[in-house]
Amino acid sequence: MAFEVNQKFIAQLETGEDTLKHIFKVPNSLEWQRFNSLRWSGAEKTMKTGEEIQFTVDVGNFSKMEMEAASALWDACIENVEGYTIDGQPLTCETKGWREKVWFPHKMAAIIQLVKFFEGKKENLEKN
């Protein structure tokens, strides 16, 4: 995939009255490799049991491996968040321990957007 190094991906989450943003750097090839190796690390065992293997879009249906893979990718690529507050103060990358203060389901929802976007880009490039 050809993306500029300084490009950002913004995942936008609507939570009723708030719009929350997760601002990511574009994952590099090593980060994608790590994500995919973690994501599919249980594939051999799963294939032996005949279960279907897929990256789900419903956070409640994430397997343990998918959650670990998505969490590692979020940690590797997140640069900032917008729209969050802690005790009435904005939560940003300037806030001490800000990454741990972002609600885990929001991290997963943001990563789903990032993965779907870039996997869609990859599919389009492979078709052309």
Distance of alpha carbon 121 from alpha carbon 38, whole angstroms: 21
Domain boundaries, the chain: 8-127
pLDDT at 51 over 70: no
Core vs surface per residue 117-126: b (16+ CB within 10 A) or e: ebeeeeeeee
* pLDDT band with cut points at 50, 70 and 90 for residue 21: very high
Give me the mean pLDDT over the 50-65 stretch: 53
Q: Long-range CB contacts (< 8 A, 24+ apart) of 61-68? A: 62/108, 65/38, 65/39, 65/40, 65/41, 66/39, 67/108, 68/38
Q: With a threshold of 0.85, does the pTM exceed it?
A: no
Amino acid 9: pLDDT: 93
Q: Among residues 71, 65, 67, 1, which one has the least CA distance to residue 29?
A: 1
56-60, 82-86, 90-94: least confident range = 56-60
Distance of alpha carbon 121 from alpha carbon 96, whole angstroms: 34
